Structure 1
Amino acid sequence: MVDAPTVARRLAPDGRNLGIDTARGLALFGMMITHIIAFTAEDGSFTRAVWFAGRSSALFAVLAGFSVVLSTRRVLARPGGRAWAAAASGLVLRGIIIGVIGLLLGLVSSSIAIILTFYGVMFVLAPLFLRLPPLALGLLAPLWLTLVPVLSMVVRREFGLETSYIVPTPGDLVTPGPLLTDLLLTGYYPVVPWMGYLILGMFLARLDWRAPRTAITAQLIGLGTAVLAKAVSSLLLTAGGRSALEATLGPVPAGEPGSLEHTLTTGSYGITPPDSWWWLATAGPHSATPFDLLHTAGLAAAVLGVCSLAAIVLGERAWLLAPLSAPGSMPLSVYTGHVVFLEISRLAPIRSLVELMIHVGLAVLFALLWRGFASPRGPLEWPVSSAVRAVQRRVLGDSRPTPGDTRDPVR
């Protein structure tokens, strides 16, 4: 029989950064809100669900950078020239598995944009940045978030690439060219500009998150960046961007789907149209413009700071964060379960708020029971991590078991 102190230790193990898990839990629940709660009410007004549009998935992507660093730290610490190859091989395999799960989930649901396939591609590309020192990552991240969306616009205008509304499935593998275009440039989570989130996460993961100063600084700089990005975007739209964009959209009543107000509030399905350079001045959700990326990246850093500071302040009582940190410690399992259950629940529709409470409640209950009584790894995380460690050992030429990453150590 497992006693209460043992369960508490399993929910808040020594050496694990529960602030990161807590932030990941918030990202998961934020995405659940956007999947279940409509952005507009019956009277045409916007609901509070729009507060999470684009922001939760951005936080999820920034935390991918943490996963890259934390999952490769022990391997990269090994002596010898094969350490990077082993770490890179593990990331590529992890990305492929996550991507395949995303494609399979595309068969389950076509009503929501599955992030996992795009997420997997980001892991496959992550080894390109593994050897960069913290300073280089810290400088590259804001440059990427600012300049790459402009490059994306240039490419999309040159080749006439429009927004893709498809949810990738295994069937799309027979047309790899269009699929790769969707994943990199025109999909709901376009990897090329979104890699800026991952690079930012890799930089943040190198910081000392045991220090309150780091958490507070992340809050201040992150929130300041988010507010400044929105303010500059608003000024540019007022200076002529709004009238120019409304002219390109045509006579759509304000607030109606397709209007500029609706687009800037609810989202652009991943990217903006390539018909006007003024779109780069907007900061609407899922628009992948410089101001959208900087705004959401800043909020992600601020949320990480708040969650990490909460874990520091709670100390030995950090297990109180378990309703968020436990689901956040097994994001692949919780996200997959949510998508599957979302389709099942739609067979018998109920009020959206009740449905959301059921999804969140089941995710919390499952994660608490699994982590407290079964395993520190989620049911999908465990086989993925085992496969990754096996590949890393093979590349290292080491028959000894690679230490498991049941903890997320932080400097």
Structure 2
Amino acid sequence: MASGILDRLSPVGRIPGIDTARGLALFGMMATHVVPLVAGAAPSWAAVFAGRASALFALLAGFSVVLATRRVLEVPGPRGWAAAAGGLLVRGALIGVLGLVLGLLTSHIAVILVNYGVMFVLATVLLRAPTWFLGALAPVWFLVTPVVSHALRAEFSLVPGYGIPSALDLIRPVHLAQEILLTGYYPVLTWFGYLVAGMFLARLPWDRTLTRVLVLCFGGALALFAKATSHIVLGLGGSAELRSLTSMYPPYSRGSLEEAMEIGSYGVTPTDSWWWLTISGPHSGTPFDLLHTAGLAAAVVAACALVCSALGAREWVLAPLDAPGSMPLSVYCGHVVLVEITALLPLSDGTEYTVHVLVCTLGALAWKLGVNRRGALEWPLSLTVRGVQHRILGEKMVG
């Protein structure tokens, strides 16, 4: 009995630490959703997770792409790629539809699922890209796409969009596409780099301690370098100019550059100055923000892998993180729905956050132990994807 429980909590074949990192990302995002990022005149404790938790979640989506397609890609020739791409297209489409439905239910959370779905679809072109290419593409993407975004938004006078994508937006497809790709809270143009970085990392030999240590060191160094360089560059004249502009920019309620650096820019920065590209504030979508959050996310994944390796057979102690992390789609959707309920209750911010953590943790543990290793939404999604792959491959289906 005990061994059966442990098998469900720590199933064989999963990369150690990935579920743990996903659990941390989920709980970090929950904090930013239910706890105000500003407490009085200063950032609250939840501001620590602003931009960083969602970046970790997005980077881990790259791991999901590789892990969900690697067996099918073992089939040689175009049919193997077609099956992997077909399954990923279906996965992206279903996740996107789910996000549009959730957008009808919530007014409190900028639901990321539609953007995720689009990124999964785009990832099909990289399924058989060499590992070195993915490793080179990710930093280039982080450096170049913010400049492209700034130029496009300035040229066409596009303003940031703070709406939650929903099925109602389908009647305005151009506007919906613009917000998803360029002006929304999680613009795919810049955020796709996280998925590319995750795909690269997922290709590395995570069974080796050296890999984990190197990723931890490199990721941490990159995060520190990006932050430090941003502060240095801003000191060359950017701070003075941006302080003269922020008082006229609505998202910054206190009208300060410090708020943009600590609390965030809601997806994209203004386009009235190129100096905006030198800040490293969360959700700003600048090169320094993307490099900082990607480096930190990589370091967190490596740290989780090292902890799991050190625990060995005792990895089950991380079940409160691993169980939600093994079913992120179910937990995320449950959290979005639960927010609509707890927002109506007379709860303090800390109490509301605790309720979300406990409900999602206990719910995930109960489902995993009593029903299925896969989450309530992951289960049918996986069956659907595998059905598509089977139809394409037929008798050549692997695994």
Q: TM-score range by the shorter chain?
A: over 0.9
1:406 is matched with which residue? none
1:257 is matched with which residue? 254
**2:313 and 2:154 mapped to 1: Cα distance?**
54
**Aligned mate of 1:230, from 227, 232, 236:** 227
Any conservation in 2 of the 1:193–1:288 contact (CA below 8 Å)?
A: yes
**1:250 and 1:40 mapped to 2: Cα distance?**
18
Pairing 1:246–2:216 present: no
Pairing 1:55–2:52 present: yes
1:321 is matched with which residue? 318
Pairing 1:126–2:123 present: yes
Pairing 1:78–2:84 present: no
2:24 is matched with which residue? 26
**1:390 and 1:199 mapped to 2: Cα distance?**
26
1:407 is matched with which residue? none
Can you give the 5+ residue segments of structure 2 that lack an aligned partner in the other structure? none
Q: How far apart are 1:251 and its partner, in Å? A: 7.0
Can you give the 5+ residue segments of structure 1 that lack an aligned partner in the other structure? 404-411
Q: How far apart are 1:119 and its partner, in Å? A: 0.8
Once the two structures are overlaid, the 10-residue window that deviates more, 57-66 or 369-378, is: 369-378
The equivalences for 1:179-328 within 5 A come to: 179-250=176-247, 256-328=253-325
Deviations 1:25-70 (A, max 9, x none): 00000000000111111x3221111100000000000001000000
**2:255 and 2:163 mapped to 1: Cα distance?**
18
RMSD of aligned alpha carbons: 1.5
Any conservation in 1 of the 2:65–2:120 contact (CA below 8 Å)?
A: yes
**Aligned mate of 2:102, from 102, 105, 110:** 105
Any conservation in 2 of the 1:210–1:312 contact (CA below 8 Å)?
A: no
**2:291 and 2:52 mapped to 1: Cα distance?**
11
**1:199 and 1:84 mapped to 2: Cα distance?**
18
1:351 is matched with which residue? 348
Any conservation in 1 of the 2:75–2:398 contact (CA below 8 Å)?
A: no
Q: How far apart are 1:256 and its partner, in Å? A: 4.8
2:363 is matched with which residue? 366
Amino acid in the other structure paired with 2:45:
R
Q: 1:401/1:374 Cα in 2 relative to 1: closer, same or farther (>3 Å)?
A: farther
Once the two structures are overlaid, the 10-residue window that deviates more, 347-356 or 276-285, is: 347-356
Pairing 1:173–2:170 present: yes
How many residues were matched structurally? 398
1:140 is matched with which residue? 137
Amino acid in the other structure paired with 1:17:
I
**2:88 and 2:53 mapped to 1: Cα distance?**
23
**1:130 and 1:73 mapped to 2: Cα distance?**
9
Any conservation in 2 of the 1:173–1:179 contact (CA below 8 Å)?
A: yes
**1:392 and 1:299 mapped to 2: Cα distance?**
35
Q: TM-score, normalising length from structure 2? A: 0.97
Deviations 1:312-335 (A, max 9, x none): 111111111111011000000000
Q: How far apart are 1:275 and its partner, in Å? A: 1.2
Deviations 1:61-111 (A, max 9, x none): 000100000000110012342110111111111011111111111111122
Any conservation in 2 of the 1:18–1:325 contact (CA below 8 Å)?
A: no
Any conservation in 2 of the 1:145–1:196 contact (CA below 8 Å)?
A: yes
Q: 1:402/1:340 Cα in 2 relative to 1: closer, same or farther (>3 Å)?
A: farther
Amino acid in the other structure paired with 1:221:
F
Once the two structures are overlaid, the 10-residue window that deviates more, 114-123 or 77-86, is: 77-86
1:389 is matched with which residue? 386
1:87 is matched with which residue? 84
1:331 is matched with which residue? 328
Q: How far apart are 1:15 and its partner, in Å? A: 2.1
Q: How far apart are 1:259 and its partner, in Å? A: 2.2
Q: How far apart are 1:20 and its partner, in Å? A: 0.4
